[in-house]
Structure 1
Amino acid sequence: MEPPSDRTDVPGSMQGSDQQSELTPGTAGSAHRVQCPSLSQVLSELASLPPASTLAAIEPLPSEEQKNLFESLQKSLKAAENANILDALKDTPDILQKLWKCRSPYLVPAAEAMANGSRAPLWRVSYGKIGVFNFFLQLIASKETIDNRVILHALRLVGNSCADTNDNREIVVEHNYTAAILQHSSNPELIQVVIPVLYNICIDFGPAQTQLAADKIVYILLKLVKDGAFKDNDALLDYVFELVELVGEQGMTSPPLLQFNANYVASTPARFSGLVSGLATYLNNTRFQEICISNYIVPNILAVLSRSLTFNTESSGEDTQALAQSRLKINQILAEISGSTSFAQYYPLDSPLAQSLKTWLTSTEDQLQICSCVILGNLARSDATCERMVQDLRIHEELISVLKSDVRGAVLHSALGFVKNLAIAGNNRLVLGEAGILPAVSRLWQYESVPQVQFAATSIARQVTVAAIDNISRLLEGLARDGTDSNDERTYLSLLLALFQKTDSTPIKTEIGRTVASICRTLVPKSREGDPTAAALLSRFFDLHEDIALPVGAMIAQSQWPVVRSEGWFAMALMASTKAGAMAVSRSLQKMQILPLLEETLSAETSESTEETEQMQAKKDRDNISVLVQELLKSDVSLFSKFEIPTMIDIDASLPARHACRNR
């Protein structure tokens, strides 16, 4: 983790509930949408691809000879049941060729008999070796008009022969017969066979999946689904969505899934989840994300998320889990897409999409709230946009309501990320403070189940108090008595200090320290200038919080971020310039064992190879330590232990010499 200083992408997250939602995102830029080619256009492009058929020309043959050929083929098939398959079937390719040459009506029963034989696993490799498999592939690829019954059995044979048989699959892929098979998908008499054949070819066989992806199978299948080609055929639809998921992971050359509304193509949780898996695979590709943005397809993805909430999954735990994973994937996709620098250009704050997302902030669906926070939060990249969101659209009021509600940690995390971006705009801090952001986040400082929520809530306290004396005053407001016997007045800052003592998280400890340091940077200079409000707040700051300097000590004690350590030295020196602050600093030096770090920093040598920025930072640290030591020695010596006093005096005495040595 790096100490936050700039706007960040708002994190997307986790699964939500399954209640139905009627919210549908608005559309934008419909005139610029991608034009989807027709199915016939896509299939005609496939027709121009190889393979070219090498089947012989027509040679007429008497009917009696045709009958004899068919009977001979039947005998060969019968013999193969009890003899060596290769020997028994060696003449069948020649018989099939002759039946084809004369366009014999016996080719239909011959093809059926051969397809029936392909059911036997031992026959499949033999079909490939002797040329039977290749013969039927060429029939499938032929540009001639062939009896549908012949093509049906040819497809059966190819599908059976490819089941768990990579040798035959390699033949299909080598000559791109997948394109030829796909062309028959527009034939309603063959579609019920084409789909299982394609499934058998590509299941557990990557090369076929890659080739089918290049052949635009996903687009073709979804177009067929949308056009009702699989109506009332649930078994076939299951194959279709498995194919979409399988092939979506291979050879991505175009984003077909972006064109289709999930309401058209997924009627069950399993099919929907398969579709989303394919969609996620495509949209993990940056190029497709940009296509999605520039062609105004993001509303379609939002519709997919909304659609996921309409399924009834009460009877199936498996469906519930699959849908939850689907929602997670969709929101992760949307987080990446909305994080693109081009997103705001196509979906500005006044777009229908942004306006619909604003309504999702108050949804009862976790994932819609997360989605809204993520996308709108990623739109909050400039001060002007953030100020408009807060001062014109009043989005912060809905976010504060979310933070005060009993929503899940994932929603809180996303909402906090959004607020964090809004708070960076200086003019928003006062508005956020007036709206009650500090009480809202203060309850989340105890949110131990999700440390990311604790940290984000802590970070917001720092951000809204930077150079904002009104919000510092709110942080120092007294809290209602908690029912204990203690008479000590407690403030919101007291809650932060309690979290500091309790947590083991270095980032959280450091962030609390940065909050304390920021308050010092605002109050101490103003108090010196005679500002009565700042002086009163500074007294309250030190008087009510005995261990106020401990978090600053933690900034110095940590070694992960040198810039934070430097910030700590400066804040400690600033604190020590006041009497009450010097007392707090002395306690911190003792409890946090800072003196050894102080000596180590002063004695550290910088070589010539050290970067200039590091040298400058080291010099600033030494200067701040010098001020710190001198301010402490001006204060009451009784603040220090008898062991620390000599050390402090020695350090102070050595400072001029050390500076002189380094400045030669």
Structure 2
Amino acid sequence: MEAQSTIRPAPGAGVEEINPAPIKRSSFVLPTVSKVLSDLPQSSSSLSDRGSEPCSLQDQQKMFRALRSIIENAEAVSEPANSFDLKELHASLEQADEDARRGRRDPETLQSVLEILHKLWTSDSEYLALVAEILANGSRDASWRVPIGRSGILKFFLDLVSSTLKVDIKLLLHSLRLIGNSCADTNENRQIVVDGRYTSAIIGHFLNPELVHVAIPVIYNICMDFEPAHAQIAENRAAYIILKLLYDGGLRDNSALLSFSFDLVELASEQAQGIANSPDGTIWLLAHLALEENEFEHFSSLANSLSAYLATEQFQGVCISHGMVEEVLGVLRHSFEISLDESSADEVSAMAQTRLKINQALAEVSAASSFAEKYPLSSSIAQTLKSWVTVDEEQLQICACVIMGNIARSDEVCQVMVRDLKIHEQLIAVLQNGSRGAVLHAALGFLKNLAIAGDNRVSLAEAGIIPAVSRLWAFDSVPQVQFSAATIARQVTIASMDNISLLLAPLSEDPDSPASKRTYLSLLLSLFEKTDSAPIKTEIGRTVASICRTISPKARDGDQTAKLLQEKLFSLHEGVARPIGAMITQTQWPVVRGEGWFALALMANNALGCRAVVDCLHNEEVAALLKSTLTGTATISSTPSESTETSNSVAVDEAQALKDRDNAFVLVQELLKNEAGALPASYRELMEDLAKSSQIRK
């Protein structure tokens, strides 16, 4: 009995819908943004208490004029903008003004500016907001950015936005602008932000409706192409915070802000540590928002992030325990309702990748041992997936085959699927309707699991599984499909005379047709001759060996049906033993090699079989292995995973070597008894010598 395997995916009308809304969330606790922010490690501000050093208004004015003079001597500064526009901010964050005038800008020049900033702060001067605005505007010029960082001005404003003291909105706004502008394309300044762990303080301003339209682009700019910042915002649970704000409706009024927000969610979701620290409800928010989203770029960010979370065991368990698989299926289904620009190859390709990621995530989720317990065959999901097997959308078909195939990991479930759901008939139809390689691979994986249950083999054969897989033996563009199709031929013929009869049935009933002398096994043997794939060759050999194990003992006992099948096996299939040689010469599985020696011994039990064995022994490698096996000089290979397992592994291989020697000895004896002139004289002498030497060793 073979163990049912976990299935994972390879590279319209009649669809049963997964209802996308409302999503049940009663089992999830969604922490408030305030609660999440309060749990984050905060940066400490080094600023003195504001107002600790009173200063007259006249002195404040002098400091402001002195500061403005310093700036103007370095570069004429434009008058501050009267209004703040998000698109203008975005431009200033992403690129320096191309026509920026060059001037003297170095940390030394700005050192006196920093001193004035501290004085304006400690004196609680209203002029500080104007200074921040001037500096923020100046920092649009790329040549200002490094000096602003090295002079300590950037840190001053980082400390300012991190302060727990009451700071007026205008000052905070221009401080954030300076931080964002100074970090544009400037990793040196970004590192200052990361080293001081200031991102949590900036994220904290997401809660302020008067600052969120600035704070989110600032974080975006700090993170852009700078992985250390990605990691830090992920640890600061930026993904959950933004998702919760989106869910609560706080970010829905500005399309540009939405783009930044979704991009940040996806950036944060690429960090393993950030995912590990996220609240369980993060995946509920991702699924909920994805199901409500109809714009491609936004949906793609949410769906890709959801897939990243579900790639971890932690959130696979969360998804199953909270009954969220329906919602994830809904996200996949919803992806086909998103309008795409079909003229954009990039957009079409990106959506294809997004669907593939969702499917891979669902494959991993359904492979978990707890999945079948939460979603038994009687669940509504099974009926939905059954309806997806034959739809026009390939990714839905793949999804259905993979998940149901992963459910089909016990004989009882497999039997119900075939006997009651008739799922095998749909899968066989998929094999026959010209589906592409990925769909075929998924359908075959499902069928392989169904075929393991012994009672299913007859039903599969009666439904036409052998003709269906035989056309795929020529599917040379996808070797995985050929391999799986060959495996199913072996599975359905195990210990089944009726199914072996079908495999040995003529391809045509017309006696005048050349196809009347060819069988489905002939097609499988043709694949053996054409393929370069060792696993496929070995699998075909295992099929032939399985047939011999079933019919040879019965034929020896006088079963007429078995005798007829044995005659067809050898008379219609020249080279039928050559795949057995592939079993023997492969080195990966010693047990499979042993099956090969046993199968050749069974073949040599009659004259027709002896001719096939002699043909196999014309392979010099097989002949050499026969000699070394009988003389005890065959190499015993051992590849234990740990050094402590070496002795046990060698012992197992030695036991296999003894078994191989016994089977090889029987093979030689049967050959000498039944070869009826098939062996050349010199070859017969060699066999006799081998038999004698082996007998002495025994």
Cα shift at 1:20: 12
1:479–1:490 contact (8 Å) kept in structure 2: yes
Cα shift at 1:592: 6.5
2:231–2:268 contact (8 Å) kept in structure 1: yes
Separation (CA, whole Å) in 1 of partners of 2:569 and 2:635: 41
Counterpart of 1:241?
A: 262
2:42–2:198 contact (8 Å) kept in structure 1: no
SS at 1:643's partner residue? helix
1:553–1:568 contact (8 Å) kept in structure 2: yes
Query: More displaced, 504-513 or 129-138?
Result: 129-138
Counterpart of 2:326?
A: 299
> For the structure 1 residues 71 and 452, does the alpha-carbon distance in structure 2 shift closer, same or farther, using more than 3 Å as the test?
same
Counterpart of 1:662?
A: none
Separation (CA, whole Å) in 1 of partners of 2:551 and 2:379: 42
Alignment RMSD, CA only? Answer: 2.9
1:29–1:296 contact (8 Å) kept in structure 2: no
SS at 1:37's partner residue? coil
Separation (CA, whole Å) in 2 of partners of 1:25 and 1:574: 58
Cα shift at 1:247: 2.5
Partner residue of 1:206 out of 214, 222, 227: 227
Cα shift at 1:550: 2.3
Separation (CA, whole Å) in 1 of partners of 2:230 and 2:123: 36
Match status 1:51 vs 2:44: yes
> For the structure 1 residues 129 and 624, does the alpha-carbon distance in structure 2 shift closer, same or farther, using more than 3 Å as the test?
closer
State the one-letter code of the partner of 2:660: D
Q: How does 1:51-90 map to 2 (within 5 A)?
A: 51-52=44-45, 54-58=47-51, 61-81=55-75, 83=104, 85-90=106-111
State the one-letter code of the partner of 2:277: S
Q: How does 1:377-526 map to 2 (within 5 A)?
A: 377-480=405-508, 486=514, 488-526=516-554
Q: How does 1:609-648 map to 2 (within 5 A)?
A: 611-648=650-687
Higher RCO (CA-CA < 8 Å; seq separation 6+): 1
Cα shift at 1:32: 6.6
Cα shift at 1:181: 0.8
Q: How does 1:82-231 map to 2 (within 5 A)?
A: 83=104, 85-231=106-252
Cα shift at 1:377: 0.9
Match status 1:13 vs 2:10: yes
2:105–2:143 contact (8 Å) kept in structure 1: no
> For the structure 1 residues 487 and 150, does the alpha-carbon distance in structure 2 shift closer, same or farther, using more than 3 Å as the test?
closer
Separation (CA, whole Å) in 1 of partners of 2:590 and 2:15: 48
Match status 1:537 vs 2:576: no
Separation (CA, whole Å) in 2 of partners of 1:477 and 1:522: 17
Counterpart of 1:40?
A: 34
Cα shift at 1:60: 5.1
SS at 1:309's partner residue? helix
TM-score, normalising length: structure 1 = 0.90
1:222–1:265 contact (8 Å) kept in structure 2: no
Q: How does 1:330-409 map to 2 (within 5 A)?
A: 330-409=358-437
Cα shift at 1:461: 0.4
Cα shift at 1:232: 5.4
Deviations 1:447-497 (A, max 9, x none): 111111011001000001101122112212222269986375222122212
Counterpart of 1:287?
A: 314
State the one-letter code of the partner of 2:47: T
Query: More displaced, 456-465 or 568-577?
Result: 568-577
Give identity over the alignment, percent: 49
2:173–2:211 contact (8 Å) kept in structure 1: yes
Query: More displaced, 501-510 or 227-236?
Result: 227-236
2:108–2:151 contact (8 Å) kept in structure 1: no
SS at 2:5's partner residue? coil
SS at 1:91's partner residue? helix
> For the structure 1 residues 57 and 612, does the alpha-carbon distance in structure 2 shift closer, same or farther, using more than 3 Å as the test?
closer
Deviations 1:161-184 (A, max 9, x none): 222333433332233221111111
User: Unpaired segments of 5 or more residues in structure 1?
Assistant: 660-664
Query: More displaced, 246-255 or 377-386?
Result: 246-255
Cα shift at 1:293: 2.5
Separation (CA, whole Å) in 2 of partners of 1:27 and 1:556: 58
1:184–1:190 contact (8 Å) kept in structure 2: yes
Separation (CA, whole Å) in 1 of partners of 2:529 and 2:2: 24
Deviations 1:525-553 (A, max 9, x none): 22233333323322332333233222223
Deviations 1:503-537 (A, max 9, x none): 22222221111111111111122223333332332
Match status 1:273 vs 2:273: no
Separation (CA, whole Å) in 1 of partners of 2:573 and 2:262: 62
Cα shift at 1:200: 2.1
> For the structure 1 residues 313 and 21, does the alpha-carbon distance in structure 2 shift closer, same or farther, using more than 3 Å as the test?
farther
Cα shift at 1:21: 7.1
Counterpart of 1:254?
A: 277
Deviations 1:294-316 (A, max 9, x none): 23233333233223222323121
Separation (CA, whole Å) in 1 of partners of 2:29 and 2:497: 56
TM-score, normalising length: structure 2 = 0.86
State the one-letter code of the partner of 2:696: A
Cα shift at 1:151: 1.1
Cα shift at 1:153: 0.5
2:507–2:515 contact (8 Å) kept in structure 1: no
1:27–1:353 contact (8 Å) kept in structure 2: no
User: Unpaired segments of 5 or more residues in structure 2?
Assistant: 76-102, 637-646
> For the structure 1 residues 310 and 29, does the alpha-carbon distance in structure 2 shift closer, same or farther, using more than 3 Å as the test?
closer
Partner residue of 1:263 out of 283, 286, 290: 290
SS at 1:640's partner residue? coil
* Aligned residue-pair number: 652
Query: More displaced, 606-615 or 369-378?
Result: 606-615
